[in-house]
């Protein structure tokens, strides 16, 4: 989700109003002096992280130099950074819009008519704000498969004409009931079948796999918190059935072909006052930012009012597993993975067969988690994995000043978790349990992905302007961290289930030409190649890291968000190159490759948003009308398929 409020003209941030993590866990100004990046030390650059954070100008020496002829993992003509109404891709590549908000998903979908918002129509059409993309091959092919796409949230002001007086600071009170129904249907996700013929991708019309999932789709709650008293509502005394998923940001695809889709800022959908009988929950509500009262959905749905349904909010904030090959399958909220503001579900099969899911909780000062399954993945039998995500151990990360770290288990019986009634309560209030364990407060953990080739794990930390100098810690060393950083984790013995790890910085982001920023991109990075605010990422089949950004714009970094190719090995480590850039106002999400690396899908999210809080963009006055550029047509979040002219692997 776009969160530019860390930036000087910041208009809007879905995480802004949640109180900061108030636990006593070390932000530890006193450890900073002991932590020097081992890699920086090896390079003899003493102007490192910790010093950087408080004495910014000293940091300029930190960028390592490239050797004479290093071997690059990437090769393509770099895009010029900048900002305009169009998207731009590297020369020699095509970038074709595959599907837009409002396009048909189900065969019976009516034609998109932005002048007449309709919940019934939107139920059958591609939703808004495409975020995560997963490509799941059919019969192992790279030219035919299912595309699973998250629809994170709605920008009602950019979708609907006539919303006068919208301010970006609160809900759009003027929304009609039908607009609310359309927005609820524009949330969730889509499954489309796609194929490539004569070099071009298209959605297969009338596919038997086509499916829309919305804020109203019936779902099942599974795992240790299913049926817990905190999950029971008037409509569901069993505590096991819930309608819809909310604010699904990033996600993952499992080796058995299911889609993991992750609920992030669910608090924005809840309104009302804390009921008297729910007063013992007040601190927990506050820790999750409930009620945020941004979307006015409680007008049509009493369940979104916490005074009416104190537990409904506990049924959101989960990882949802969906079988996209069965449109009648009931999505499952997997409570063993914990409840927080999930960014994604980067996953890997451990050497011993257990399934490991790395997870960021995207809030300032929140945590990095991983889930390790109790059972093993059965790659030969899909059905054998159907309950794999219901049993296992959830861990939260502590990053120590000496470059080591530890995964702390969130399990009932732990002496520090004696205040929690049972495992269900620990998982429902995972943030509070992680507070009690002494996890490290991070600068907004977004995507986390494991590299199957190297065994290393990459953590995107997008930014945190609220971190004060006294609050810096070894792994989050910059006060007022406006541009974020990337941490590389190396599991002990290459074992993703191990509780010990070592860590280092891959890069501290921002403009390397501005000394105070303290960015550490490799000196081989061009003026176009640096970025701020890493968010989504993907590691391709060749083990190369691609980073998508959220929050760059003309006013802040002189460039829109985009997709950057990032070297992680050898003398070019820390070099970044711009491959694709967004139209104005958009964030880049969902980078996803076909297995043959010949197609890259990207999700252009919220094109046309404002870059200036003083002049909020609207459907009447967006910053771009991408991709249609037609009067009367709002900008439309869309999936773009990128291929090489004449065919071949991307970025080599
Ligand atoms: Fe929805 Fe953390 O981005
Ligand atoms: Ca987003
Ligand atoms: Ca983000
Ligand atoms: Ca994101």
For the stretch 596-648, pLDDT in tens is 999 999 999 999 998 877 778 999 999 999 999 999 999 999 999 999 999 99
Ligand nearest to the CA of 131: 2
| Ligand 1 atom closest to Cα of residue 14 | 1
CA distance 78 to 559: 14
Higher pLDDT, 68 or 343: 343
CA distance 59 to 580: 29
Cβ–ligand 1 distance for 561 under 6 Å, the answer: no
Greatest alpha-carbon pair distance for the chain in Å reads 69
Mean of per-residue pLDDT scores for the chain: 90
User: For residue 343, how far is its CA from the centre of ligand 1 (angstroms)?
Assistant: 6
Cβ–ligand 1 distance for 262 under 6 Å, the answer: no
Could you give the residue ranges of the DSSP H alpha helices within 112-239? Answer: 119-122, 156-159, 177-186
**Residue 59: what pLDDT?**
28
Cβ–ligand 1 distance for 103 under 6 Å, the answer: no
**Residue 335: what pLDDT?**
99
Mean pLDDT, range 36-53, rounded to an integer: 32
pLDDT band (50, 70, 90) for residue 21: confident
pLDDT band (50, 70, 90) for residue 46: very low
Higher pLDDT, 122 or 16: 122
- Other beta carbons less than 10 A from residue 142's beta carbon: 15
Cis peptide before 196 (omega within 30 of 0): no
Structure tokens at 315: 């049924």
| Partners of residue 361 on adjacent β-strands | 342
CA distance 115 to 619: 11
**Residue 44: what pLDDT?**
30
Could you give the residue ranges of the DSSP H alpha helices within 262-409? Answer: 282-288
The full length of the chain comes to: 652
The DSSP-derived string for 585-640 is: T-EEEEEEE-TTSSEEEEEEESTT--S-TTS---SSS-S--TTT--TT-----EEE
CA distance 306 to 321: 26
Going by their DSSP bridges, the two strands 457-461 and 485-491 should be labelled as antiparallel
Task: With a cut of 80, say whether residue 413 has pLDDT above it.
Answer: yes
106 Cβ neighbours under 8 A, 6+ residues apart? 124, 210, 211, 212
Task: With a cut of 90, say whether residue 507 has pLDDT above it.
Answer: yes
Task: With a cut of 60, say whether residue 239 has pLDDT above it.
Answer: yes
CA distance 40 to 45: 5
User: For residue 535, how far is its CA from the centre of ligand 1 (angstroms)?
Assistant: 7
User: For residue 550, how far is its CA from the centre of ligand 3 (angstroms)?
Assistant: 5
Cβ–ligand 1 distance for 1 under 6 Å, the answer: yes
- Identify the structural domains of the chain with CATH numbers, from first to last: 4-644 (2.120.10.30)
The answer to whether 319 touches 206, Cβ cutoff 8 Å, is no
User: Which of 527, 526, 521 is closest to 485 using CA atoms?
Assistant: 521
Task: With a cut of 50, say whether residue 203 has pLDDT above it.
Answer: yes
**Residue 487: what pLDDT?**
98
Cβ–ligand 1 distance for 588 under 6 Å, the answer: no
**Residue 36: what pLDDT?**
34
C-alpha dist (Å) from residue 465 to 48, 92, 242, 365, 554: 19, 38, 36, 11, 19
**Residue 57: what pLDDT?**
27
Task: With a cut of 70, say whether residue 216 has pLDDT above it.
Answer: yes
Mean pLDDT, range 240-262, rounded to an integer: 98
Taking the whole predicted model, whether its pTM rises above 0.75 is answered as yes
| Partners of residue 409 on adjacent β-strands | 395
Q: What angle (nearest 5°) sits at the alpha carbon of residue 163, between those of residues 159 and 166?
A: 100
Percentage helix, strand, coil, to 5, in the chain?
A: 20, 30, 55
Cis peptide before 291 (omega within 30 of 0): yes
The answer to whether 257 touches 136, Cβ cutoff 8 Å, is yes
**Residue 172: what pLDDT?**
63
Q: What percent of the chain has pLDDT over 90?
A: 84
pLDDT band (50, 70, 90) for residue 275: confident
Task: With a cut of 80, say whether residue 269 has pLDDT above it.
Answer: yes
pLDDT band (50, 70, 90) for residue 26: low
Q: What residue owns the CA closest to ligand 1's atom 1? A: 1
Cβ–ligand 1 distance for 13 under 6 Å, the answer: no
**Residue 168: what pLDDT?**
55
Q: For 247, list phi and psi in degrees, rounded to 5.
A: 60, 45
**Residue 171: what pLDDT?**
59
Residue with the two structure tokens 């004479």: 68
Q: Tens digit of pLDDT for each residue in 369-392?
A: 999 999 999 989 999 999 999 999
CA distance 235 to 272: 18
CA distance 96 to 118: 28
């Amino acid at each position: 989700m776009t969160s530019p409020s860390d930036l000087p003209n910041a208009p809007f941030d879905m995480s802004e109003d949640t109180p900061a993590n108030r636990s006593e866990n070390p932000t530890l100004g006193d450890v900073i002096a002991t932590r020097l990046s081992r890699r920086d030390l090896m390079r003899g650059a003493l102007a490192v992280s910790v010093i950087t954070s408080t004495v910014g100008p000293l940091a300029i020496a930190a960028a390592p130099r490239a050797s004479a002829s290093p071997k690059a993992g990437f090769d393509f003509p770099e895009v010029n950074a900048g900002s305009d109404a169009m998207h731009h891709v590297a020369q020699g590549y095509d970038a074709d819009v595959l599907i837009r908000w409002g396009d048909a998903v189900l065969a019976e979908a009516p034609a998109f008519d932005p002048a007449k918002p309709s919940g019934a129509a939107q139920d059958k059409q591609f939703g808004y704000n495409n975020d995560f993309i997963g490509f799941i091959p059919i019969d192992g092919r790279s030219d035919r498969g299912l595309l699973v796409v998250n629809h994170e949230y709605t920008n009602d002001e950019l979708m609907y004409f006539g919303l006068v007086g919208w301010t970006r600071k609160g809900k759009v009170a003027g929304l009609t009931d039908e607009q609310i129904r359309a927005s609820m249907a524009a949330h969730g996700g889509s499954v489309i079948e796609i194929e490539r013929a004569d070099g071009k991708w298209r959605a297969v019309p009338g596919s038997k796999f086509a499916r829309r999932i919305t804020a109203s789709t019936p779902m099942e709650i599974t795992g240790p918190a299913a049926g817990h008293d905190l999950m029971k509502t008037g409509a569901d005394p069993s505590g096991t059935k819930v309608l819809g998923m909310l604010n699904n940001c990033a996600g993952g695809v499992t080796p058995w072909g299911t889609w993991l889709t992750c609920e992030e800022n669910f608090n924005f959908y809840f309104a009302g006052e804390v009921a008297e009988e729910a007063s013992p929950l007040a601190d927990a509500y506050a820790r999750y930012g409930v009620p945020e009262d941004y979307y006015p959905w409680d007008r049509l749905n009493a369940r979104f009012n916490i005074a009416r349904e104190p537990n409904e909010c506990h049924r959101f904030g989960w990882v949802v597993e969906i079988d996209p090959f069965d449109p009648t399958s009931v999505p499952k909220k997997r409570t063993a993975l914990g409840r927080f503001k999930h960014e994604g579900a980067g996953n890997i099969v451990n050497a011993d067969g257990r399934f490991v899911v790395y997870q960021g909780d995207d809030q300032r000062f929140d945590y990095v988690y991983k889930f390790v399954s109790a059972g093993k993945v059965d790659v030969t039998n899909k059905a054998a994995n159907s309950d794999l995500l219901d049993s296992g151990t959830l861990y939260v990360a502590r990053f120590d000043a000496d470059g080591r770290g530890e995964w702390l288990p969130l399990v009932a019986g732990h002496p520090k978790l004696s205040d929690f009634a049972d495992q269900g309560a620990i998982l429902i209030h995972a943030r509070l349990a992680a507070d009690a364990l002494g996890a490290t407060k991070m600068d907004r953990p977004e995507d986390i992905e494991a590299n199957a080739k190297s065994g290393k794990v990459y953590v995107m930390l997008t930014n945190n302007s609220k971190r004060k100098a006294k609050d810096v810690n070894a792994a989050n060393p910059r006060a007022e961290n406006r541009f974020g950083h990337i941490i590389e984790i190396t599991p002990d013995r290459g074992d993703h289930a191990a509780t010990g790890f070592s860590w280092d910085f891959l890069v501290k982001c921002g403009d390397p030409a501005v000394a105070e920023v303290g960015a550490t991109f490799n000196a081989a990075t061009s003026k176009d190649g640096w970025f701020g605010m890493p968010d989504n990422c993907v590691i391709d089949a060749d083990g190369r890291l691609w980073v998508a950004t959220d929050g760059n714009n003309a006013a802040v970094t002189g460039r829109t968000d985009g997709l950057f190719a990032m070297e992680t090995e050898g003398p070019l480590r820390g070099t970044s190159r711009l491959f694709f850039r967004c139209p104005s106002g958009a964030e880049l999400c969902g980078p996803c490759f076909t297995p043959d690396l010949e197609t890259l899908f990207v999700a252009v999210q919220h094109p046309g948003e404002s870059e200036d809080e003083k002049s909020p963009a609207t459907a009447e006055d967006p910053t771009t009308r991408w991709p249609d550029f037609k009067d009367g047509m709002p900008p439309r979040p869309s999936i773009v398929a990128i291929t090489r002219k004449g065919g071949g692997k991307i970025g080599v």
